[in-house]
Structure 1
Amino acid sequence: MIPHDPVPGAWRTSSRSSGNGNCVEVAAGSTAVAVRDSKDRGGPVLAFPAASWRSFLAGLDRLTTPR
């Protein structure tokens, strides 16, 4: 398990969320990015190494950018 270290108050709703209540929130720390369900803020948190998160976002950009 990767420890996460988000800055308190740093959680934000994903820019990919559609506003229908099915959202994730992300918080970037110095070494990891934490992800949680916006409907269950006290629930489980997934943490990913910052480099892995950047690769994930780059992959999303490739999928969603018109060619």
Structure 2
Amino acid sequence: MKTQHRFHYTHEAKQQTLDFAEFDLHVNVGDRVVFPGSDHAYEVIYKEFHLNSDGSVEHVDYRTD
């Protein structure tokens, strides 16, 4: 099962929530992420893992500023 990485943007960013099938799990709070087609760097301000009952990762929620 692939891990979903859901990014939640501030309203001002005017970006849709994105689901990623593959993403580096080493992204941490304070890191900056630039997406293809954008020259804007989003700073990760929140990271939360959601687990399945077997302990595997269902998805990871990020919030950016």
Asked if Structure 1 and Structure 2 have the same fold, meaning a TM-score greater than 0.5 normalized by the shorter chain, the answer is: no
TM-score by length of 1: 0.24
Instruction: Give the number of the structure with larger relative contact order, counting CA–CA contacts within 8 Å between residues 6 or more apart.
Output: 2
